[in-house]
Chain A
Amino acid sequence: MSKRLKTILIWVGLIAVFFVFFSLQHGREPLGFESFETFLKNVDEDLVTSIRVHNNEITVHLVDEMPSYKTLGAVTDEITQLVSDNGGIVEWGEESHPFRTWLIIALPVLFVLLFIWYFAKRVNSTQSGIFSLGKSRARLVSNDSAITFDDVAGCDEAKEQLGDMIDFLVQPKRWTKAGARLPRGILLDGPPGCGKTLLARAVAGETKAKFYTVSASEFVELFVGVGAARVRDMFEIAAKNTPAVIFIDELDAVGRRRGSGIGAGHDEREQTLNQILVSLDGFERTDTLVVIAATNRSDILDPALMRPGRFDRHITVPPLSREARCHALEIHTRNKSLADEVSLQNLAELTDGMTGAQIESVTNEASLLAVRRARQANDTSAIIRREDLLKALEPVLAAGQSFDQLDTVLIDSMAQLARPKGRAVARITLENSSEIVGEVVWADGTFIKIHNPTDATDVIVAKQRIHSIEALPGTEMADGGHVPGQSTARETSGLA
């Protein structure tokens, strides 16, 4: 109901109430008084339709809308006989107005209720209202500007896995008929800014499902039990509005391993976590409700969260590959005008290790620079040139020069190359200038394991000892292509 309509309804309602009450009051205008003789005369003339006798007071109603009146006197049996013989009605006792009496009792009560409601609303509207404490803080994101998978660069593996979920939300019958139990909890794991949130929104956008987003930290409040109440409330709301996607961001805020940490001051967090677990188990197999959680600390999550039936689908959202970065650049420059000289391919190389969010910020910065230049030149159209993009990249590249940053960047890049499908061949130069050449078997935050096929030896190198790393021909990229020439995925330390 629109606000305007509500206002009009209130006005009309109030004026209607005025008229109703006016007629009530008007109907109670005191009746005229006539003498007893007039009454007797009227009875003789057969004008009386009804009389009401209360003690010695008589209310007389006459025919033909002649005014009713009251009179005083003793009513004898003869008179009542005469009245009823002439077709009049004789009533005894005080007249009762059930409706009016009821109204007079109900209305003050209504007023008091209105009064209380008004104050309750005021308390509620201040954010700390005690009534809203157990209410879920999940926000319903509108589907108007729906994000689809086209807007998400890279993350092909994640997209593929999420594709099942989308189909489940769109055509749940196909899956339930086949007796399949689809994972209802998906855990997106990956470094910050890799598009976990974007992926989750894309799922909602693709399915046209309701998308509820909440940060896990919003569950936790000072009072024990509030978080659990909020979880319950959120699941209840979502279950009423299926198909729905609940997105819990930063799950590690409540999903930390239970019983860990110092002291026992985690009751609230643990209760919240328990409630999430129970709620995940709780909904029916046919409910088209999917919970997506995101974290970048999957290592500290409670094992019970990963149990089948809960967040059993674990999708790693890796940092962007070169193609994905190129794609991301395309997406973010879609509504910007680029000079012909700009090669996104080339730029994708320069943005190595950058997340989608960073790429977005770079393109935005570049367009700001372009606008600034256009304004100085009094040009109407701001076209982004290569120099703008490079200038925008500068601070990011400078940040990448620090050693720690380089570590993560190169390790992650190698991991990216090694993991999804193919193999990665790398030449690693250590701090002491010695070189190791071989296939990357695995890489994690601390170590890289290199397999040397020529003498069949495995070496594990600590990342801190690595000075530079180079991908060699023979490396299969995520899409199956080979690294052309010498070194496309080359990383060199700024310390060199």
Chain B
Amino acid sequence: MLTENWFLERILFWIPLLLSLTVHEWAHAWSAYRLGDPTAEREGRLTLNPLAHMDPIGTLLVPLLAPFGWAKPVPINIGLFHSKVGMRTGVMLVAAAGPVSNICIALLSIAILVGWAFLCGSVELIPVSVYSLLNTAIWLNVLLAVFNMIPIPPLDGSRIVDALMPDRLRGIWDAFRGLGPIALAAVVVGLALGGSQWLWWPIQTVQLAVEELLQLVTR
């Protein structure tokens, strides 16, 4: 397992992951701060510095063993949101900010890639390393956005569902929330064992679209 190539590949995956997770967590902190909750800012999380968001296990250890990882969750205090926003809307916006930021990175990467290709006139003229970085950024961020929107606690999607849940279904939802970590583990194992096309479908769609775009601009 511990071969040169294995390690190089892990590092090449780890750096975009770290930066994407950083932006993801920063987006949570920033949106909470803008909505009136300074908890994350006081904890020093309102920064794009990766060190502030690193989780020693989820960001350092796990990504080197498997293509998977997580960062420290950003603390929020829903009681501190501006009164005109309201707690439910506030939680929803803050939770959505993370995946939205990942979509933004993916879009930005696509824009750079397509723009570069357009300026050069050909995809082959883009340095391979840059192409690889942007490509990793695209699929990784699409994956992060999709994965985080899965409505299972403690993922971001669960918070949005939680805020939207009508009161009569709340009992069932709360019971499900108690199962959150187990359900998440089951989903992760399930995806790893063969259901991964569910996660790959959006990535493939995006990559096909990007290729179409590249062909369009370099024609």
Contact = CB atoms under 8 A, between A and B. Distances in A.
A21 B8 contact: yes
A76 to B, nearest CB: 33
Contact of B11 (A6, A7, A21, A114): A21
Interface in B1-49: 4-5, 7-9, 11-12, 15-16, 18-19, 47-49
Contacts of B132: 22
A7 B47 contact: yes
B52 to A, nearest CB: 9
B18 A14 contact: yes
A18 B61 contact: no
A118 B16 CA distance: 20
A181 interface: no
Q: Is chain B's interface secondary structure helix, strand, loop, or mixed overall?
A: helix
Given A18-B133, A25-B8, A107-B7, A114 B19 contact: no
A465 interface: no
A21 B14 CA distance: 11
B129 interface: yes
Given A28-B4, A100-B4, A104-B7, A19 B50 contact: no
B50 A10 contact: yes
Contact of B128 (A7, A24, A26, A28): A26
Contact of B9 (A18, A25, A100, A114): A25
Interface in B34-77: 47-51, 54, 56, 60-61, 64
B18 A25 contact: no
Interface in A102-126: 104, 107-108, 111, 114-115, 118-119
A14 B23 CA distance: 14
A17 interface: yes
Contacts of B4: 28, 100, 104
Contact of A114 (B8, B60, B128): B60
B129 A23 contact: yes
A6 B47 CA distance: 11
A104 to B, nearest CB: 5
Contacts of A108: 7
Interface string B128-139: 110011000000
Tell me which of A21, A114, A119 has the highest count of chain B C-beta atoms within 10 A of its own C-beta.
A21
B9 A118 contact: no
Nearest to A18: B15
Interface in B122-167: 128-129, 132-133
A23 B129 CA distance: 7
Contacts of B48: 7, 11
Contacts of A118: 54, 56, 60
A11 B47 contact: no
B56 A115 contact: yes
Nearest to A104: B4
Contacts of B18: 14
Contacts of B5: 25, 28
Nearest to B6: A104
Interface string B100-142: 0000000000000000000000000000110011000000000
Contacts of B129: 18-19, 22-23, 26
Interface in A366-407: none
A17 B60 contact: no
Contacts of A25: 5, 8-9, 12
B44 to A, nearest CB: 9
A3 B56 contact: no
A22 B49 contact: no
Contacts of A21: 8, 11-12
B49 A18 contact: no
A111 B133 contact: no
B60 A111 contact: yes
Nearest to B15: A18
A342 interface: no
Contacts of B128: 22, 26
Nearest to B26: A7
Contact of A18 (B7, B16, B51): B16
Tell me which of A6, A19, A119 has the highest count of chain B C-beta atoms within 10 A of its own C-beta.
A19
A141 interface: no
A197 to B, nearest CB: 30
A11 B128 CA distance: 20
Contacts of B51: 10
Contacts of B16: 18
Nearest to A19: B129
Nearest 7 pairs between A and B by C-beta?
A22-B129, A7-B49, A25-B8, A18-B15, A19-B129, A21-B11, A14-B15
Interface of A: 3, 6-7, 10-11, 14-15, 17-19, 21-26, 28, 100, 104, 107-108, 111, 114-115, 118-119
Given A15-B19, A17-B15, A22-B132, 10 more contacts: A10-B49, A11-B48, A11-B50, A15-B15, A18-B16, A21-B11, A21-B12, A25-B8, A111-B60, A115-B61
Interface of B: 4-5, 7-9, 11-12, 15-16, 18-19, 47-51, 54, 56, 60-61, 64, 128-129, 132-133
28 contacts: A6-B49, A7-B48, A7-B49, A10-B49, A10-B50, A10-B51, A11-B19, A14-B19, A14-B50, A18-B12, A18-B15, A18-B129, A19-B129, A19-B133, A21-B12, A22-B12, A22-B128, A22-B129, A22-B132, A25-B5, A28-B4, A28-B5, A28-B8, A107-B7, A111-B60, A115-B56, A115-B61, A119-B56
